Amino acid sequence: MKSEKMFWIFATVLPFLLLAAEIEAQELRFDGYLNSGLGLWTSNEQNNNDPMVMVYGVDSGRYIGRFRLNGTYINRNENAGINFRIQSQGRGVGPDNPANALSLAFGYAWLRPVEMLNIKVGLVNDTTWRTGDFFFDDDQSEGAGALFRLSPIRGLDLGFGAFVGTYGTASRNNFLDRLDEQLKWDDVKYTFNLAYTIDRAFRFMASYRTHNETGGDTEDYGSSQILAELRLLAVDNLTAVVVGQIDGIEKRGGRSFDENGRINFYQTFAYRMNPLRFGLNAAQYVSNEDVNDLGLLFNSWVSYGLNRRSIVPRLDLAYFMGGERGNGTNYSREAFQPNYDRDSYVMNVRPSVRFNLDSRAFLEIGDSFYYSRQGNNVDSVIVNVFYIDVVVRF
């Protein structure tokens, strides 16, 4: 497979390049982490109701688990560098990609020709305009191309990007032979971004992404959309984020925004009052295709730190009217999706205890119980996952 050959060539040559760079500049840094565990899964969907054991990575929110190796190089003048991430997590992206794929999540060079301008070229990842809410927590997903970030005054970041290929960098595995497409200029993905932050006051972000043919899931990554975020920074120990998303603005697949557009809202509120912490995450989904059926998602949680937060019991409660649990073996706390059916709902109860061994390693033991009904004529489904989850960072 072409992608495998390209990856192994990259993986073979990379250590020598890194060694040479380390000897020459002494400015190369590595970090990363491993998340995995075990889950005991039971459900009334199985004919024999026998419990099943599966590999489980709840922190990563992905299939099976996740391994990451991040690399950063900065030149002596600190005006150029390279960032990359080699990653393995569950399934690859694309119809022929195997499970447990080891791939390049991103890899790009950056330049700062003048103090206010930053240019990234390659398989780009940038979090400048990423939202800070719990459920969406995303941006316009850069990809293979170039991104220009201009910061003319303190707190203001303007961006323009053009990308030929994208599957959503950073969180997914990218296969290099799928990123060398040749597209017409109006099929390329263009992004326009603005963020303005006043310390200890607020942050405002707005961005626009064009309709494009850059690969990946067309529904998620090819549609045009607007994002906007307001984040309150004025109150100590308080997290308050509100995000709006308008998706499918341009005509796609013969259907206009009036026929198939979506408008979603996300809110995240949390307060820290050590040792007590609590919060509410919410989302509202509206689809013009199913305008009479809304998706309303609520997740409340509370935790209490013991022994200087080395032991942290937590309880999560979630209810989603017009939605369902995420597909596959993804049982992370945010793994829900709308189906725009007023007769469908899912409830989730998750008690857990986290043991923080230090600031870079923890063990979490929990039980996630789901009860759902997908339509009036469908039997209710019960799923329970008892899990042990481990994260070690380096």
Q: List the domains of the chain with CATH numbers.
A: 26-393 (2.40.160.10)
Confidence of residue 8 (pLDDT cuts 50, 70, 90): very low
Confidence of residue 193 (pLDDT cuts 50, 70, 90): very high
Position 223 pLDDT exceeds 90: no
Position 252 pLDDT exceeds 80: no
> What's the confidence (pLDDT) of residue 325?
87
278 vs 253 pLDDT, higher one: 278
- Give me the half-sphere count of Cα atoms (radius 13 Å) on the Cβ side of residue 261: 15
Q: Give buried/exposed letters for 62-95 (b at 16+ CB in 10 A, else e).
A: bbbbbbbbbbebbeeeeeebbbbbbbbbbbbbbe
Distance CA 350, CA 273 (A): 22
> What's the confidence (pLDDT) of residue 23?
42
Position 191 pLDDT exceeds 50: yes
Mean local confidence (pLDDT), 258-287? 94
Lowest mean pLDDT among 25-34, 60-69, 237-246, 277-286: 60-69
Residue 114's beta-bridge partner residues? 117
Mean local confidence (pLDDT), 213-217? 68
Q: Is residue 326 a contact partner of residue 346, using CB atoms and an 8 Å limit?
A: no
Position 128 pLDDT exceeds 70: yes
Position 125 pLDDT exceeds 60: yes
58 vs 254 pLDDT, higher one: 58
Mean local confidence (pLDDT), 265-286? 97
Position 178 pLDDT exceeds 80: no
> What's the confidence (pLDDT) of residue 2?
47
Mean local confidence (pLDDT), 10-37? 66
* Alpha helices, H only, the chain: 2-25, 257-260
The owner of tokens 């220009």 is: 148
Distance CA 224, CA 214 (A): 12
Position 97 pLDDT exceeds 70: no
Q: What does pLDDT average to over the chain? A: 85
Please choose, from the candidates 315, 3, 391, the residue with its C-alpha nearest in 3D space to the C-alpha of residue 179: 3
Distance CA 158, CA 294 (A): 34
Distance CA 326, CA 343 (A): 17
Please choose, from the candidates 229, 222, 185, the residue with its C-alpha nearest in 3D space to the C-alpha of residue 205: 229
Phi, psi for 164 (deg, rounded to 5): -90, -30
Mean local confidence (pLDDT), 271-300? 92
Q: Is residue 343 a contact partner of residue 376, using CB atoms and an 8 Å limit?
A: yes
Helix and strand numbers (H, E) in the chain are: 2, 21
Position 14 pLDDT exceeds 60: no
Position 95 pLDDT exceeds 50: no
Q: Is residue 267 a contact partner of residue 284, using CB atoms and an 8 Å limit?
A: no
Mean local confidence (pLDDT), 86-93? 68
Lowest mean pLDDT among 105-109, 181-185, 205-209, 263-267: 181-185
Lowest mean pLDDT among 46-50, 126-130, 218-222: 218-222
Mean local confidence (pLDDT), 107-130? 95
Please give the share of the chain, as a percent, with pLDDT higher than 70.
80
Q: pLDDT (tens digit, 9 = 90+) per residue, 301-354?
A: 999 999 999 999 999 999 999 999 876 667 889 889 998 888 899 999 999 999
3-state helix, strand, coil in the chain (%, to 5): 10, 55, 35
